[in-house]
Structure 1
Amino acid sequence: MSDRSLPSGLYEQTLLDLKRRIRSAQVRAALAVNQELILLYWQIGQTILEQQQREGWGTKVIDRLARDLKQEFPTLGGFSARNLKYMRAFAEAYPDPAFVQRCVAQIPWRHNLVLLDKLKQSEERAWYAQQSLENGWSRDVLALQIESNLYRRQGNAVTNFDRTLPQPQSDLAQQLIKDPYHLEFLTLGKEAQERDLEAALITHIRDFLLELGVGFAFVGSQYRLEVAGEEFFVDLLFYHLKLRCYVAIELKMTAFKPEYSGKMNFYVAAIDDLLRHPSDNPTIGIILCRDKNKTIAEYALRNVNSPIAISTHRLPKQLEDQLPTIEQLEMEINTVLSDLVEQVEQVEQAERP
C-alpha cells in the first residue's frame, strides 16, 4: 500500500499511538532499572551489616571493598566507599525487604539519601517515602517538605469533618489540611492586610499550590457569588480532584474569631447550591488565620453543619521587625559617644605630668 492510499489522519494517529507506547515502555523500563538497582544496594548494605556483626568489619574493609568493586566494574558508578556506607545505613534503616520493594525501591536513590540524611525516626522516613511515591515529588520538593515539617503539620487543623463528611472522605480531608501553612515564599510589608496576602498568593500561585498539596486546582480569587440579588466574594476558590469537591479559603491576618465560622458557613452553603455538581462531594471551607485558640475554634464549629477547617499560616519574619528603631539607634549612638569621651579623658589624664 502506498502512502497516498492511507486514510486521512490514519498515519498521524498511528504515529502518535506508537510514540505513546514507546514513552510508556521507556518509563516502565526506567522504573524497573531503578527498582533493581536500589534492591541491589539494599542487598549490598545488608551483606556489609551481616559481616560487621559476624566478622567485625570496619571502615578500612569498606574502603577496600569499594576499590575492588570499582576495579571489577569500571563502567558502573555507585561503588564509592561513601555510597557503600549509605547502602549499609539504608539496609539498617529498612530491615523489612518487603517494605523496601513496595516503597523505597520505587523512588530514586538520591531521594533515599535525603531521607537518610535528614531524618532519624524510621516512622517519619517511611511516611515521607510513601508521600514522595504517591505525589511524585522531586528530590528538592521532598527536602522542602521535610524542612517544613510536613509530617507534623498534616492533619492538625481544627475541623468538624467527623460530623459533616462521610467516611472515608472525612479522614482523607482531615489528612490533606495542614496546620500551620508555611508561606515563607511571600514578601509582605509589616502592615499587610488580607487583600495584600491574597494578591501575593495569586502572584506565587505555584508555590501556594505546592504548599496546599497535590490535587488542588485553582478556580479563582475573589470568586463572585450572587445570592438573592446581592454579591458576595470568596477570597480563594479551589477544586480538589481527589476529594471531588470545591474548597473555599478565607484569608485572615488576625487571630481566629468565632464570627468567621458563620461567614464561611454561608459561603459553603452558597457554593453547594450555585456551583456544586450532583456528582460532587460537599464543599469544604478553610479559614486561614494568623493564630487561633483551639478551644474557641472547637466551640465555633460545634453546631455548624458545613464541613469547615480552621488553620493558621506562617509568614516570613518581616525585615522591619529585625531592624532597630530610631530610638534604639539614638541610644546606641549616645552610648558609643559616651564611651569615646570617657576614653579620651582617660588618655588625657594619663598624659598629664
Structure 2
Amino acid sequence: MSKIVGNQFVQEIKTLLQSARDKVYQNINEIMTKTYFEIGKRIVEEEQKGKSRADYGKELLKNLSIELTKEFGKGFSVTNLKNMRQFYLSFQNRQTLSDDFKLSYSHYIFLSKIQNEDERNFYEIEAIKNSWSLRELKRQFDSALFERLALSKDKQKVKELSKKGQIIENPKDLIKEPYVLEFLGLEEKSHYSESELEQKLIDKLEHFLLELGRGFTFVARQKRFSFDEEHFRVDLVFYNRLLRCFVLIDLKIGKLKHQDLGQMMMYVNYFDRFEKTEDENPTIGIILCKDKNETLVELTLPKDSQIFASKYQTVLPNKEELKKLLETKESDFKE
C-alpha cells in the first residue's frame, strides 16, 4: 500500500539538497576567486619582466585574452584580465580576518576600486561579518559608512576599523553621524510629517535595520505607556542583542529642541524602571533630527547620558566632503 509522503519529510530532504547546493556554490566561488587572484599575480610578474618595453603590458593582456578565449570561452576579455590584475595588486599585502577569500569575486572587484587600504579592509570585514550582498556593499560604500564612523572616533579607534571592522562594545559605538535614509525615496527638501517619516521607515524596515547596524531587532512602533492618567508613545523601539538593551528612537523633522531631549530622558527612565530586566543593560535613546545645536545637546544632557542626538538625511552624503573632514581630523591627530 502506497503511503503519502509527509510534508515534514519532504521539507527535510529539500533542506539537505539546498544546503548541498549552497556548499558546492561556495566552494566553486572560493576556488575561482583564488584562481583569478593567481592569474592577476602571474600577469603582474610577467609585466615586470618586460617593464622596459612601454607597450608590453598592453600587448600581453591582448594576446592572453585571445588565447584564453579560444580555449575557455567568454570571461577573459582584456577588461576582465585588468580586473584580475587589480584584484591582486589591491590584496597582495592585505591583513584582514583571514587569508581566505570569503566573498564573491564580484565583491572583490568592487573592493579593488577603493584606493584607501584602510577603507578597503573595513568594507571587506563588514561585508563578511554582515553577509552583505554586492548591492548592499555598494550601498554602504555610497553612504560613506567608513567616514561616518571614523569621524566619531579617536585615532586608535579609526585604525581599529581597518583591522576589526565596527566593534560594538558601548552605546556610543552604535551611533552614526549622520544617518543616511536615502532608501526612503524622500527628497531632501520635500515636506513630510513625522508620522509619514515613521511610516516610510516601517515600510523599509529591512533597509533601516541595515542602516542602524549590527545586532538590532525591531520591537514596537508607537509603544504606549501611561502614568498619572497621562499617555505617552515612543516612536520606534528596538533591541540590540550585542549590548543587550532596548534602543528607543524618536523622530524629529525640524531642529532639535531641549524639550525633545527632556522627553527622551523620560522615555529612557521609564524603560529602565519598568521594561528592562535586572540582567539587561540600561536603555539607549536616539533622537533622529534634521538639524541640531551641539552646544544645546551638551548642556542639556548629563555627561554619562545614554541619550544621543544624530542628524539624518534623505539623500546620499557627499563622500568627498566627508573624506576632507576625515583628512583634516587625521592631520589634527598628527599634530
SS in 1 for 2:87: helix
Matched with 1:171 is 169
Q: Does 2:57 align with 1:58?
A: yes
- Distance across 1 between alignment mates of 2:172 and 2:70: 53
Deviates more, 1:178-187 or 1:195-204: 195-204
- Structure 2 residue identity aligned to 1:112: Y
Kindly indicate whether the alpha-carbon contact (under 8 Å) linking 2:86 and 2:112 is maintained by their aligned counterparts in 1.
yes
Kindly indicate whether the alpha-carbon contact (under 8 Å) linking 2:168 and 2:243 is maintained by their aligned counterparts in 1.
no
SS in 2 for 1:137: coil
Task: Give 1:97 shift.
Answer: 6.6
Q: Where do 5+ consecutive residues of structure 1 fail to align? A: 159-167, 318-353
SS in 1 for 2:177: coil
> RCO (CA 8 Å, sep 6+): is it higher in 1 or 2?
2
- Distance across 1 between alignment mates of 2:253 and 2:38: 53
SS in 2 for 1:134: helix
Task: Give 1:200 shift.
Answer: 3.2
Task: Give 1:236 shift.
Answer: 1.2
Matched with 2:247 is 247
Structure 1 residues 214 and 100 mapped into 2: Cα distance closer, same or farther (>3 Å)? Answer: closer
Structure 1 residues 316 and 48 mapped into 2: Cα distance closer, same or farther (>3 Å)? Answer: closer
Q: Does 2:74 align with 1:115?
A: no
Kindly indicate whether the alpha-carbon contact (under 8 Å) linking 1:256 and 1:289 is maintained by their aligned counterparts in 2.
yes
Task: Give 1:113 shift.
Answer: 2.1
- Distance across 1 between alignment mates of 2:50 and 2:208: 52
Task: Give 1:72 shift.
Answer: 2.8
1:7-156 matched pairs, under 5 angstroms: 13-56=8-51, 57-74=56-73, 77-96=74-93, 99=96, 102=99, 105-117=101-113, 119-154=114-149
Task: Give 1:191 shift.
Answer: 4.6
- Distance across 1 between alignment mates of 2:82 and 2:20: 33
1:195-214 matched pairs, under 5 angstroms: 195-214=195-214
- Distance across 1 between alignment mates of 2:283 and 2:137: 29
Structure 1 residues 193 and 130 mapped into 2: Cα distance closer, same or farther (>3 Å)? Answer: same
- Structure 1 residue identity aligned to 2:82: K
Structure 1 residues 90 and 69 mapped into 2: Cα distance closer, same or farther (>3 Å)? Answer: same
Kindly indicate whether the alpha-carbon contact (under 8 Å) linking 2:96 and 2:125 is maintained by their aligned counterparts in 1.
no
> Highest Rg: 1 or 2?
1
CA displacement 1:113-168 (0-9 Å, x = unmatched): 22234x2211111111111111122222211111111111136569xxxxxxxxx9
SS in 2 for 1:282: coil
- Structure 2 residue identity aligned to 1:113: I
Q: Where do 5+ consecutive residues of structure 2 fail to align? A: 154-165, 317-335
- Distance across 1 between alignment mates of 2:29 and 2:307: 42
1:175-190 matched pairs, under 5 angstroms: 175-184=173-182, 185-187=184-186, 190=190
Kindly indicate whether the alpha-carbon contact (under 8 Å) linking 2:216 and 2:238 is maintained by their aligned counterparts in 1.
yes
What's the TM-score, normalizing by structure 2? 0.77
CA displacement 1:232-275 (0-9 Å, x = unmatched): 11111112233332210111223333443332121112122332
Count of residues paired in the alignment: 298
SS in 1 for 2:85: helix
Structure 1 residues 223 and 102 mapped into 2: Cα distance closer, same or farther (>3 Å)? Answer: farther
What's the TM-score, normalizing by structure 1? 0.74
Q: Does 2:241 align with 1:232?
A: no
